[in-house]
Amino acid sequence: MKRLFVVLTLILSKTLFCQETVVETFNSKILNEERVIRIHIPKTFDTFKKFPLFLTLDGEYMFYNLVGNSELLLATEKIPETVIVGIDQNYPDFSKKYMRWQDCNYDAKKGKLRGKGIEFKKFITQELIPYLTSKYKIGNYKVLAGHSLTASYTLFLLKDDAFTSVIALSPYISKSLSTKIIEKLSTSNRFVSLYVSTSEHDLQGHLKTTKKMDSLLITGTARLDAQYIFNFFEKETHYSLINRSFPVALQSIFREYQLITEKEIEFEKDVLAFLKNKYKNIKEHYDIDLPIRKDDLETIYWVAEEREDWELLQRIGDFSIANFPAYSDGYFMLSAVAEQKKKYTKDLELYQKGYERLGDDVLNKVDYYKNIERLQKIIENKE
């Protein structure tokens, strides 16, 4: 007999703790100048855990867009909490040239940084990252984002292992740089990811070169979808594609982090092994010590019961109780297995333990008790 247990719970709004955005002036010895950085601190910063880093160039207009999209996706558990940092670059220097052009100076033909572009990379990797790591609990997973010129610049830091993931919105990708990026994605012995986007009304050079690199990666034999994501947005412009790109990019690079869906495990035979491997990957890829989430445990629970795979359900039930001894579902799983074996006394004992662990917010508690009465009658009739 197949039994589905539906827990009706009260929907409670989550209290949002204070989050802080600060603006700091960073005195760079490498650049011999002061730089403005914007920092968004996660609400659980006072805990002892480490956080992934999102660093965006063009901080004046990219930072707040990134913060807004991150908060929305965080609320639905699509991404983890992160420290978000923006570097301001859209103001003129002493020569009246915009800082972004000086910071991101590179030779397109040779695919190499030059001038201040070399020093700016050192500033990021040798000064800013160590400072952020020590003050804001940054872990090993670091993401760099840029737009247009600064997007092209981000690709140099992915190539040299400074960042695990890069989000490049409308970059211009020269042939020499494209070759190096393709080689990086094809031969890397560590987890790396690259998100690239362009649009129908993007700058023509950017549209052409990003599509060219995408076509080379599609036809390449070493392309890994987990490492490379490309978006082409119809009707969008060079700037409007930013709003379209960030939600997709953030979810793409944190694909492993997201909650398990039934579709995702439709063809997985051992869903418990899949669950364990998922959290192993979260630790390895994102440097996040994430406890097993009850929602993920419930998903594989329902799948195993739908399949009537009682041996698998037994293992999931044991795993659930070991990790969540105060949680009712593990006992209900083992109860269902016991009933299939017609071990009704054991069935009742396990079911009662699950019932005792139901919270006061479960509105249909009376339905659970009816099942206890049903089992009691079965045992009485057998005696």
pLDDT, mean of each 10-residue run, the chain (383 residues)? 35 44 96 96 88 97 96 94 97 84 93 95 97 95 97 90 93 91 82 93 97 80 64 97 96 94 95 97 93 94 95 97 93 95 94 92 89 92 75
DSSP state of 290: P
At 96 the pLDDT is 77
Query: Which residue type, as a one-letter code, is found at position 167?
Result: I
Torsion over CA: 96, 97, 98, 102 (sign): negative
Cα–Cα distances (Å) from 242 to 24, 209, 211, 217, in that order, read 25, 18, 17, 23
- Max intra-chain CA distance, the chain: 95
CA distance 320 to 331: 8
Residue type, 50: K
Output phi, psi for 29, to 5 deg.
-75, -30
Q: How many residues does the chain have?
A: 383
What confidence score (pLDDT) does residue 2 get?
38
- Asked if 42 and 81 count as a contact pair (C-beta separation under 8 A), the reply is yes
Q: Tell me phi and psi for residue 90, to 5 degrees.
A: -100, 65
**Predicted pLDDT of residue 227:** 81
Q: Provide CB contacts within 8 A for 89, sequence distance 6+.
A: 57, 58, 59, 60, 98, 99, 100, 103, 104, 150
CA 252, CA 141: separation in Å to the nearest integer? Answer: 15
Secondary structure element (H or E) that encloses residue 33, with its range: strand 33-41
H or E segment and range at residue 379: helix 365-382
CB 92 within 8 Å of CB 62: no
Q: Is 242 in contact with 278 (CB distance < 8 Å)?
A: no
Residue 219's pLDDT is what?
A: 59
Pair 126, 158: CB distance under 8 Å: no
